[in-house]
A and B are shown apart, each in its own frame.
Chain A
């Protein structure tokens, strides 16, 4: 099984995530699509780590996972805060930072 297959799959998953960000307008789903893209990046990191026989890529994937968790926590906090203030959860309306 060539490593190329894994890399092409990772590119496909990344493209699906980008399509979701461009297509959807609910901030929750956009955060989910960001997860898709980060996971595609992780898959590419692990593929390269396997193809080089070097474990550094796996450590980097772990750090990416931590950053993704932080991004989710802050993003969901913003969504909950916007919902409590009766701000419409639509990224077309959420254009300004003014609460």
Chain B
């Protein structure tokens, strides 16, 4: 049963990932990413990461994808020219990707880590539950948690400064807008 669920999730995740890079229209790529993220959330559930799976759905398939959809609709379809600055780029790039995959697989399969050869140890009932993750975040990883919140604040301010700026060559002075901090 677990194998079936794994292969369904793996096919979804892989199909979504390949569709992201293969589709010409950026909007369809964003939609393919949703398939990828939801399949990946299923795989996270198989790995006993309940809270991570829920956060994956809420943060990625919710917030981040909405942002991507709006920007893809705003910018429109960016046509990619057929002219290639690097000759043979479309043949070399997949080749390098395959080489990287082979290399990583050799490293994973050839490693002598005993713990990855098994199903994993039996864990207690609350493994990966929101309460356990929350306890870890607020006790052991408090510094990382606070740093992450600070990073989110800086990113939000940065996005406002980057995207919300008035056109310099348009209106004379953004008198009505908020004062810009640099």
Contacts and interface: CB of A to CB of B under 8 A. Distances in A.
Q: Do A and B bind each other?
A: yes
Interface of A: 1-9, 11-20, 22-26, 28-29, 31-33, 35-36, 39, 42-43, 46-53, 55-56, 58-59, 61-63, 65-74, 76-81, 83-85, 89-90, 92
Contacts of A8: 105, 108-109
Contact of A50 (B21, B47, B93): B47
Contacts of B176: none
Nearest to A24: B21
A8 B109 CA distance: 8
The 7 closest A-B pairs by CB, nearest first: A19-B97, A20-B21, A77-B162, A15-B101, A11-B104, A22-B93, A70-B155
Contacts of A90: 78, 80-81
Contacts of B163: 76-77, 80-81
Given A2-B116, A3-B120, A73 B17 contact: no
Interface of B: 2-3, 6, 10, 13-14, 17-18, 20-21, 26, 29-30, 33, 36-37, 40, 43-44, 46-49, 51-52, 55-56, 59-60, 63-64, 67-68, 71-72, 74-75, 78, 80-81, 85, 89-90, 92-94, 96-98, 100-101, 104-105, 108-109, 113, 115-123, 127-128, 132-133, 136-137, 140-141, 144, 148, 151-152, 154-156, 158-159, 162-163, 165, 167
Q: Interface SS of chain A: helix, strand, loop or mixed?
A: helix
A71 to B, nearest CB: 8
11 contacts: A1-B6, A9-B10, A9-B43, A14-B104, A16-B14, A19-B93, A25-B80, A43-B43, A56-B140, A59-B140, A72-B67
Contacts of A43: 40, 43-44
Counting chain B CB atoms within 10 Å of each CB, the highest count among A61, A66, A81 belongs to A66
A78 B3 CA distance: 42
A79 B21 contact: no
A72 B20 CA distance: 16
B94 A23 contact: yes
Given A11-B108, A52-B115, A58-B51, A39 B21 contact: no
B75 A80 contact: yes
A63 B144 contact: yes
